[in-house]
Amino acid sequence: MKKEVTIIIAEDDKGHATLIEKNLKRAGISNNILHFKDGQETLNFLFRHGKGPHRKNNYPYLLLLDIKMPKVDGIEVLRQVKQDNELCKMMVIMLTTTDDPREIDECYKIGCSSYITKPVDYDKFVEAIRQLGLFLLVVEIPKIDGEL
Amino acid sequence: MKPKDVSILLVEDNPDDIELTLKAFTKHNLANVINVARDGEEALNIIFQGGEEDTGENVPDLILLDLKLPKVDGLEVLRQIKGNTKTQLIPVVVLTSSREENDLVESYRLGVNSYIRKPLDFEKFVEVVIQLGLYWLLLNEPPPKGRN
Protein backbone atom coordinates (compact mmCIF):
# COMPACT_ATOMS: atom_id res chain seq x y z
CA MET A 1 0.00 0.00 0.00
CA LYS A 2 1.38 3.38 -0.98
CA LYS A 3 2.09 5.97 1.71
CA GLU A 4 -0.44 8.41 0.22
CA VAL A 5 -3.37 6.09 1.06
CA THR A 6 -5.45 7.41 3.96
CA ILE A 7 -7.01 4.80 6.24
CA ILE A 8 -10.43 5.71 7.65
CA ILE A 9 -11.58 4.00 10.83
CA ALA A 10 -15.35 4.29 11.35
CA GLU A 11 -15.80 3.08 14.92
CA ASP A 12 -17.91 4.33 17.83
CA ASP A 13 -15.89 2.55 20.53
CA LYS A 14 -12.94 4.84 21.30
CA GLY A 15 -11.01 2.01 22.94
CA HIS A 16 -11.33 -0.18 19.85
CA ALA A 17 -10.35 2.69 17.54
CA THR A 18 -7.19 3.36 19.55
CA LEU A 19 -6.33 -0.33 19.64
CA ILE A 20 -6.82 -0.68 15.89
CA GLU A 21 -4.66 2.35 15.11
CA LYS A 22 -1.91 1.34 17.52
CA ASN A 23 -1.65 -2.21 16.20
CA LEU A 24 -1.77 -1.22 12.53
CA LYS A 25 1.24 0.98 13.27
CA ARG A 26 2.92 -1.88 15.08
CA ALA A 27 2.55 -4.01 11.94
CA GLY A 28 4.46 -1.34 10.00
CA ILE A 29 1.62 0.81 8.66
CA SER A 30 2.79 4.44 8.58
CA ASN A 31 -0.13 5.88 6.60
CA ASN A 32 -2.33 8.75 7.68
CA ILE A 33 -5.23 7.39 9.78
CA LEU A 34 -8.54 9.21 10.33
CA HIS A 35 -11.14 8.24 12.91
CA PHE A 36 -14.88 8.94 12.74
CA LYS A 37 -17.12 7.95 15.63
CA ASP A 38 -20.39 7.34 13.78
CA GLY A 39 -21.79 6.60 10.32
CA GLN A 40 -22.99 10.17 9.70
CA GLU A 41 -19.53 11.68 10.28
CA THR A 42 -18.09 9.06 7.93
CA LEU A 43 -20.63 9.83 5.19
CA ASN A 44 -20.12 13.60 5.63
CA PHE A 45 -16.39 13.14 5.06
CA LEU A 46 -16.73 10.82 2.06
CA PHE A 47 -19.58 12.70 0.35
CA ARG A 48 -18.28 16.14 1.43
CA HIS A 49 -21.41 17.18 3.29
CA GLY A 50 -21.72 19.41 6.34
CA LYS A 51 -19.07 21.42 8.14
CA GLY A 52 -16.59 18.73 9.21
CA PRO A 53 -13.53 17.54 7.29
CA HIS A 54 -14.04 16.47 3.67
CA ARG A 55 -12.06 13.99 1.63
CA LYS A 56 -9.64 15.28 -0.98
CA ASN A 57 -10.16 14.84 -4.68
CA ASN A 58 -8.04 12.28 -6.53
CA TYR A 59 -6.69 10.54 -3.43
CA PRO A 60 -6.77 6.88 -2.40
CA TYR A 61 -8.79 5.95 0.69
CA LEU A 62 -9.43 2.68 2.50
CA LEU A 63 -12.37 2.26 4.91
CA LEU A 64 -12.39 0.04 8.01
CA LEU A 65 -16.07 -0.03 8.89
CA ASP A 66 -17.82 -1.05 12.10
CA ILE A 67 -21.50 -2.08 11.80
CA LYS A 68 -23.17 -1.07 15.06
CA MET A 69 -22.75 2.71 15.21
CA PRO A 70 -24.97 5.64 16.29
CA LYS A 71 -26.95 7.79 13.83
CA VAL A 72 -26.16 5.80 10.68
CA ASP A 73 -25.02 2.19 10.93
CA GLY A 74 -22.18 0.61 8.97
CA ILE A 75 -24.41 -1.33 6.58
CA GLU A 76 -26.11 1.92 5.47
CA VAL A 77 -22.69 3.57 5.04
CA LEU A 78 -21.57 0.60 2.92
CA ARG A 79 -24.76 0.80 0.84
CA GLN A 80 -24.33 4.51 0.07
CA VAL A 81 -20.64 4.10 -0.74
CA LYS A 82 -21.25 1.20 -3.12
CA GLN A 83 -24.10 3.01 -4.88
CA ASP A 84 -21.87 5.98 -5.67
CA ASN A 85 -20.20 5.95 -9.07
CA GLU A 86 -16.78 7.03 -7.71
CA LEU A 87 -16.76 5.82 -4.10
CA CYS A 88 -17.76 2.32 -5.23
CA LYS A 89 -14.08 1.73 -6.12
CA MET A 90 -13.04 2.15 -2.47
CA MET A 91 -11.92 -0.97 -0.64
CA VAL A 92 -14.22 -1.40 2.38
CA ILE A 93 -13.29 -3.88 5.10
CA MET A 94 -16.00 -4.59 7.68
CA LEU A 95 -14.42 -4.75 11.15
CA THR A 96 -17.10 -5.68 13.62
CA THR A 97 -18.12 -7.82 16.58
CA THR A 98 -21.13 -9.20 14.68
CA ASP A 99 -20.62 -12.73 13.38
CA ASP A 100 -24.23 -13.36 12.32
CA PRO A 101 -24.03 -15.18 8.95
CA ARG A 102 -26.99 -13.15 7.60
CA GLU A 103 -25.14 -9.92 8.34
CA ILE A 104 -21.96 -11.26 6.71
CA ASP A 105 -23.96 -12.35 3.68
CA GLU A 106 -25.66 -8.97 3.38
CA CYS A 107 -22.39 -7.03 3.56
CA TYR A 108 -20.86 -9.15 0.79
CA LYS A 109 -23.98 -8.75 -1.33
CA ILE A 110 -23.84 -4.96 -0.97
CA GLY A 111 -20.19 -5.14 -1.98
CA CYS A 112 -17.80 -5.08 0.98
CA SER A 113 -14.29 -6.25 0.04
CA SER A 114 -13.71 -8.25 3.18
CA TYR A 115 -15.26 -9.00 6.57
CA ILE A 116 -13.33 -9.37 9.81
CA THR A 117 -14.88 -10.33 13.13
CA LYS A 118 -13.23 -8.62 16.11
CA PRO A 119 -12.16 -11.32 18.53
CA VAL A 120 -13.47 -10.77 22.07
CA ASP A 121 -10.16 -11.90 23.59
CA TYR A 122 -7.69 -9.00 23.85
CA ASP A 123 -4.61 -10.88 22.63
CA LYS A 124 -6.53 -12.34 19.69
CA PHE A 125 -7.88 -8.89 18.81
CA VAL A 126 -4.33 -7.49 18.76
CA GLU A 127 -3.13 -10.41 16.63
CA ALA A 128 -6.03 -9.99 14.16
CA ILE A 129 -5.23 -6.29 13.66
CA ARG A 130 -1.53 -7.09 13.22
CA GLN A 131 -2.44 -9.64 10.55
CA LEU A 132 -4.69 -7.05 8.89
CA GLY A 133 -1.81 -4.56 8.92
CA LEU A 134 0.60 -7.03 7.31
CA PHE A 135 -1.96 -7.67 4.58
CA LEU A 136 -2.56 -3.94 4.00
CA LEU A 137 1.18 -3.50 3.44
CA VAL A 138 0.96 -5.60 0.25
CA VAL A 139 -2.39 -4.50 -1.18
CA GLU A 140 -2.88 -1.78 -3.85
CA ILE A 141 -5.57 0.87 -3.35
CA PRO A 142 -7.05 3.02 -6.16
CA LYS A 143 -7.58 6.77 -6.09
CA ILE A 144 -11.11 8.08 -5.74
CA ASP A 145 -11.56 10.97 -8.13
CA GLY A 146 -14.06 13.18 -9.88
CA GLU A 147 -16.31 15.88 -8.43
CA LEU A 148 -19.41 14.60 -6.71
CA MET B 1 -13.10 -22.70 8.57
CA LYS B 2 -10.33 -25.26 8.83
CA PRO B 3 -7.58 -25.12 6.21
CA LYS B 4 -8.30 -28.70 5.15
CA ASP B 5 -11.75 -27.69 3.87
CA VAL B 6 -10.37 -24.96 1.65
CA SER B 7 -10.12 -25.01 -2.12
CA ILE B 8 -8.39 -22.39 -4.20
CA LEU B 9 -8.45 -21.67 -7.90
CA LEU B 10 -5.20 -20.21 -9.18
CA VAL B 11 -5.54 -18.57 -12.60
CA GLU B 12 -2.01 -18.07 -13.86
CA ASP B 13 -0.10 -18.77 -17.09
CA ASN B 14 3.47 -18.27 -15.85
CA PRO B 15 4.95 -21.65 -14.72
CA ASP B 16 7.42 -20.01 -12.29
CA ASP B 17 4.66 -18.03 -10.59
CA ILE B 18 2.46 -21.15 -10.38
CA GLU B 19 5.28 -23.09 -8.70
CA LEU B 20 6.08 -20.30 -6.22
CA THR B 21 2.42 -19.80 -5.31
CA LEU B 22 1.82 -23.51 -4.76
CA LYS B 23 4.98 -23.69 -2.65
CA ALA B 24 3.86 -20.79 -0.46
CA PHE B 25 0.40 -22.29 0.13
CA THR B 26 1.52 -25.85 0.82
CA LYS B 27 4.37 -24.73 3.09
CA HIS B 28 1.88 -23.01 5.38
CA ASN B 29 -0.78 -25.68 4.97
CA LEU B 30 -3.28 -23.03 3.87
CA ALA B 31 -5.34 -25.14 1.50
CA ASN B 32 -5.59 -28.77 0.51
CA VAL B 33 -7.11 -28.34 -2.92
CA ILE B 34 -5.47 -25.95 -5.35
CA ASN B 35 -6.70 -26.08 -8.93
CA VAL B 36 -4.71 -24.30 -11.59
CA ALA B 37 -6.19 -22.74 -14.72
CA ARG B 38 -3.58 -21.63 -17.26
CA ASP B 39 -5.78 -19.29 -19.27
CA GLY B 40 -8.98 -17.29 -18.85
CA GLU B 41 -11.15 -19.70 -20.79
CA GLU B 42 -10.09 -22.65 -18.65
CA ALA B 43 -10.80 -20.57 -15.53
CA LEU B 44 -14.33 -19.75 -16.69
CA ASN B 45 -14.97 -23.42 -17.52
CA ILE B 46 -13.93 -24.46 -14.00
CA ILE B 47 -15.89 -21.69 -12.27
CA PHE B 48 -19.07 -22.17 -14.29
CA GLN B 49 -18.78 -25.96 -14.81
CA GLY B 50 -22.07 -26.73 -13.09
CA GLY B 51 -24.04 -24.41 -15.34
CA GLU B 52 -27.54 -23.49 -14.18
CA GLU B 53 -27.82 -26.70 -12.13
CA ASP B 54 -24.85 -25.79 -9.93
CA THR B 55 -25.70 -25.71 -6.24
CA GLY B 56 -22.65 -23.62 -5.45
CA GLU B 57 -21.00 -26.30 -3.35
CA ASN B 58 -18.14 -26.87 -5.73
CA VAL B 59 -17.14 -23.25 -6.12
CA PRO B 60 -13.67 -22.31 -4.87
CA ASP B 61 -13.25 -20.48 -1.55
CA LEU B 62 -10.76 -18.09 -3.10
CA ILE B 63 -9.70 -17.19 -6.63
CA LEU B 64 -6.23 -15.84 -7.32
CA LEU B 65 -6.38 -14.14 -10.68
CA ASP B 66 -3.60 -12.94 -12.97
CA LEU B 67 -4.64 -10.26 -15.48
CA LYS B 68 -2.55 -10.93 -18.57
CA LEU B 69 -3.83 -14.33 -19.66
CA PRO B 70 -4.17 -16.19 -22.97
CA LYS B 71 -7.59 -16.54 -24.69
CA VAL B 72 -9.68 -14.56 -22.17
CA ASP B 73 -7.95 -11.88 -20.07
CA GLY B 74 -8.25 -11.54 -16.31
CA LEU B 75 -10.47 -8.46 -16.30
CA GLU B 76 -13.03 -10.31 -18.43
CA VAL B 77 -12.89 -13.33 -16.08
CA LEU B 78 -13.42 -10.95 -13.15
CA ARG B 79 -16.33 -9.24 -14.94
CA GLN B 80 -18.07 -12.59 -15.48
CA ILE B 81 -17.51 -13.80 -11.89
CA LYS B 82 -18.78 -10.55 -10.34
CA GLY B 83 -21.61 -10.22 -12.85
CA ASN B 84 -23.22 -13.57 -12.00
CA THR B 85 -25.29 -13.93 -8.83
CA LYS B 86 -24.07 -17.53 -8.39
CA THR B 87 -20.41 -16.53 -8.26
CA GLN B 88 -20.29 -12.85 -7.31
CA LEU B 89 -19.58 -13.48 -3.62
CA ILE B 90 -16.48 -15.63 -4.19
CA PRO B 91 -13.49 -13.59 -2.97
CA VAL B 92 -11.26 -12.75 -5.93
CA VAL B 93 -7.72 -11.47 -5.41
CA VAL B 94 -5.94 -10.08 -8.46
CA LEU B 95 -2.27 -11.00 -8.38
CA THR B 96 -0.56 -9.35 -11.29
CA SER B 97 2.70 -7.92 -12.61
CA SER B 98 0.73 -5.11 -14.28
CA ARG B 99 1.83 -1.62 -13.25
CA GLU B 100 -1.06 -0.01 -15.17
CA GLU B 101 -3.16 2.33 -13.04
CA ASN B 102 -6.13 1.54 -15.26
CA ASP B 103 -5.99 -2.19 -14.39
CA LEU B 104 -6.08 -1.29 -10.69
CA VAL B 105 -9.03 1.11 -11.02
CA GLU B 106 -10.99 -1.16 -13.37
CA SER B 107 -10.50 -4.20 -11.11
CA TYR B 108 -11.97 -2.38 -8.09
CA ARG B 109 -14.77 -0.99 -10.23
CA LEU B 110 -15.66 -4.55 -11.24
CA GLY B 111 -15.68 -5.60 -7.58
CA VAL B 112 -12.33 -7.28 -6.96
CA ASN B 113 -11.84 -8.06 -3.26
CA SER B 114 -8.20 -7.02 -3.28
CA TYR B 115 -5.50 -6.18 -5.79
CA ILE B 116 -1.88 -7.13 -5.30
CA ARG B 117 1.16 -6.41 -7.46
CA LYS B 118 3.66 -9.24 -7.81
CA PRO B 119 7.05 -8.28 -6.45
CA LEU B 120 9.85 -8.99 -8.95
CA ASP B 121 12.00 -10.60 -6.28
CA PHE B 122 11.25 -14.35 -5.78
CA GLU B 123 11.48 -14.35 -1.98
CA LYS B 124 9.27 -11.27 -1.69
CA PHE B 125 6.80 -12.91 -4.06
CA VAL B 126 6.50 -15.93 -1.74
CA GLU B 127 6.15 -13.63 1.29
CA VAL B 128 3.32 -11.67 -0.37
CA VAL B 129 1.48 -14.87 -1.32
CA ILE B 130 1.78 -16.10 2.29
CA GLN B 131 0.37 -12.81 3.65
CA LEU B 132 -2.58 -12.84 1.27
CA GLY B 133 -3.21 -16.51 2.06
CA LEU B 134 -3.16 -15.94 5.83
CA TYR B 135 -5.48 -12.96 5.45
CA TRP B 136 -8.02 -14.43 3.06
CA LEU B 137 -8.10 -17.98 4.39
CA LEU B 138 -7.68 -17.48 8.12
CA LEU B 139 -8.63 -13.91 9.13
CA ASN B 140 -11.39 -13.03 6.65
CA GLU B 141 -14.92 -14.27 7.36
CA PRO B 142 -15.96 -15.84 4.06
CA PRO B 143 -19.41 -15.32 2.58
CA PRO B 144 -21.74 -18.20 3.57
CA LYS B 145 -21.55 -21.04 1.01
CA GLY B 146 -24.37 -22.72 -0.86
CA ARG B 147 -26.44 -19.56 -0.77
CA ASN B 148 -29.17 -18.38 -3.14
User: For the segment A38-53, what is each residue's pLDDT rounded down to a tens digit?
Assistant: 999 999 999 999 989 9
Domain range spanning residue A63?
A: 6-137
Angle between helices A101-110 and A74-83 (to 10 degrees): 20
Contact criterion met (CB below 8 Å) for A11 and A64: yes
The reply to whether B97 falls in a domain is yes
| CATH number, domain containing residue A75 | 3.40.50.2300
- Measure in Å the smallest separation between the Cα of A92 and chain B Cα atoms: 9
User: For the segment B70-119, what is each residue's pLDDT rounded down to a tens digit?
Assistant: 999 999 999 999 999 999 999 999 999 999 999 999 999 999 999 999 99
| CATH number, domain containing residue B134 | 3.40.50.2300
Cα Rg, chain B, nearest whole Å: 14
pLDDT of residue B32: 78
At a CB cut-off of 8 Å and minimum separation 6, what does B120 contact? B97
- Measure in Å the smallest separation between the Cα of A83 and chain B Cα atoms: 11
Whether residue A135 and residue B132 make contact (CB cut-off 8 A), yes or no, is yes
Whether residue B115 and residue A140 make contact (CB cut-off 8 A), yes or no, is yes
The reply to whether A1 falls in a domain is no
The reply to whether B145 falls in a domain is no
The reply to whether A146 falls in a domain is no
With a pLDDT cut of 70, the percent of chain A lying above it is 98
Number of H helices, E strands in chain B: 5, 5
pLDDT of residue A147: 45
Q: Which of B108, B123, B132 to mutate to test the interface with A (most CBs of A within 10 A)?
A: B108
The reply to whether A49 falls in a domain is yes
Indicate the number of domains in chain B. 1
**CB neighbourhood size of A35 (10 A):** 17
The reply to whether A123 falls in a domain is yes
The reply to whether A144 falls in a domain is no
Indicate the number of domains in chain A. 1
- Exposure pattern of B20-49 as b/e (b: 16+ CB <10 Å)? bbbebbeeeebbeebebbbbbebbbebbbe
Amino acid at B8: I
Asked if B147 is an interface residue toward chain A (Cβ–Cβ < 8 A), one would say yes
pLDDT tier at B56, thresholds 50, 70, 90 = low
The reply to whether B148 falls in a domain is no
Q: Average model confidence (pLDDT) for chain B? A: 90
pLDDT for residue B55 is more than 70: no
User: For the segment A110-148, what is each residue's pLDDT rounded down to a tens digit?
Assistant: 999 999 999 999 999 999 999 999 999 999 999 998 544
Q: What is the pTM of this model?
A: 0.94
The reply to whether B109 falls in a domain is yes
The reply to whether B144 falls in a domain is no
**CB neighbourhood size of A145 (10 A):** 13
pLDDT of residue B57: 59
The reply to whether B146 falls in a domain is no
Q: Average model confidence (pLDDT) for chain A? A: 95
Domain range spanning residue B126?
A: 3-138
Please, which residues bridge with residue B64 across strands? B10, B93
Torsion angle of C-alpha atoms A24, A27, A32, A35, degrees rounded to 10: 0
Nearest-by-Cβ selection for A142 from B89, B108, B128: B108
Q: In chain A, which residue's Cα lies nearest the Cα of B147?
A: A105
Q: What is the ipTM of this complex?
A: 0.93
Whether residue A113 and residue B114 make contact (CB cut-off 8 A), yes or no, is yes
The reply to whether B147 falls in a domain is no
Going from the C-alpha of A100 to that of each of A64, B39, B109, the distances in angstroms are 18, 37, 27
pLDDT for residue B51 is more than 90: no
